[in-house]
């Protein structure tokens, strides 16, 4: 598979996975029993416990596992080394930073 098709295919599959996952801005709220309580804050102010929507979120959690940390960090570093900075990388970093400890 050529690199452009590879990137487009990965982007399309990520979009498709996100479309069937619990929407909203996921945030932790402490512990629910012995597990982190993760709540999706939906447009309009409603919330949904992500644990209650496991069927839709399990694939998302697995797809964005820690195995992606190194390639995403490498992409951000590579994008930062080029002028002008890739706008997609900047948008990604701005969305990611508030979610990182």
pLDDT tens-place string over residues 34-90: 777 888 888 899 988 887 777 778 788 878 888 888 899 999 999 999 889 899 999
Task: Write down the pTM of the prediction.
Answer: 0.70
Buried b (16+ CB within 10 A) or exposed e, 24-61: bebeeeeeeeeeeebbbeeeeeeebebeebeeebeebe
pLDDT at residue 91, as a whole number: 92
pLDDT digits (tens, 9 = 90+) for 18-37: 888 888 888 877 776 777 78
| Model confidence band, residue 93 (pLDDT cutoffs 50, 70, 90) | very high
Q: Bridge partners of 40?
A: 26, 48
């Amino acid at each position: 598979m050529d690199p452009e098709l590879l990137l487009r295919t990965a982007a399309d599959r990520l979009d498709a996975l996100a479309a069937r996952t619990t929407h909203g801005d996921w945030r932790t709220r402490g512990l629910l029993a012995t597990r982190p309580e993760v709540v999706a804050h939906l447009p309009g102010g409603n919330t949904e416990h992500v644990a209650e929507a496991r069927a839709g979120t399990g694939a998302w959690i697995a797809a964005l596992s820690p195995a992606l940390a190194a390639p995403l960090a490498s992409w951000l570093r590579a994008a930062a080394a080029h002028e002008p900075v890739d706008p997609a990388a900047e948008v990604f970093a701005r969305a990611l930073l508030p979610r990182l400890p």
